[in-house]
Structure formats: structure tokens, C-alpha cells
């Protein structure tokens, strides 16, 4: 148990709840790690893609392709 002292503060309660739901069972702990890594990568990629597209607005093919597709 990492949280020994039970001083009843919010942070303490939060840490205790987190420990009990995530860390206690190894299966849940591992699943949490894998799922959160996957989710973090998705979020990081989509955010940095959006920043990239914003920096290069009007320069990339996807910005000008509409002019040449006449279907």
C-alpha cells in the first residue's frame, strides 16, 4: 500500500480510490497501461496532426486537391 496515512484529504482519498481500482489487481493494472498508452498515442497524434496542418495551411495536397477533382 503506497498510501499509508489516512488523513482524509481530497488528494488522499483520490490516491486511495485510484490504488484500489487500478493497481490492486495486476490484470486491471496491465490493461490500464495498454489502453492508456493506446489512447495517449491517438490523442497525441491527432493533436500534432492538427497543429501541423494549421502551420501548413494551403500548402499541402489535401488543401488544394478540391480544385482538381471534378467528379
Give the shortest CB-59-to-other proteins separation in angstroms: 5
Which residues would be at the binding site for other proteins (CB under 8 A)? Answer: 44-45, 48-49, 51-52, 55-56, 59-61, 63-65, 67-69
Separation of first and last alpha carbons in the chain: 64
Q: Select 20 or 56, whichever has its Cβ closest to other proteins.
A: 56
Rounded-to-integer distance, Cα 33 and Cα 3, Å: 20
Give the shortest CB-25-to-other proteins separation in angstroms: 26
Our separate counts of H helices and E strands in the chain read 3, 0
Give the shortest CB-64-to-other proteins separation in angstroms: 5
Q: Select 10 or 68, whichever has its Cβ closest to other proteins.
A: 68
- Exposed/middle/buried for residue 43 (C-beta within 10 Å: 0-12, 13-18, 19+): exposed
Amino acid at each position: 500500500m503506497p498510501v499509508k496515512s489516512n488523513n482524509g484529504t481530497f488528494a488522499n482519498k483520490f490516491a486511495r480510490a485510484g490504488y484500489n481500482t487500478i493497481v490492486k489487481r495486476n490484470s486491471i493494472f496491465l490493461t490500464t497501461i495498454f489502453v492508456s498508452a493506446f489512447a495517449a498515442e491517438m490523442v497525441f497524434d491527432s493533436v500534432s496532426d492538427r497543429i501541423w496542418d494549421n502551420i501548413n495551411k494551403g500548402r499541402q495536397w489535401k488543401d488544394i486537391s478540391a480544385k482538381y477533382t471534378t467528379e
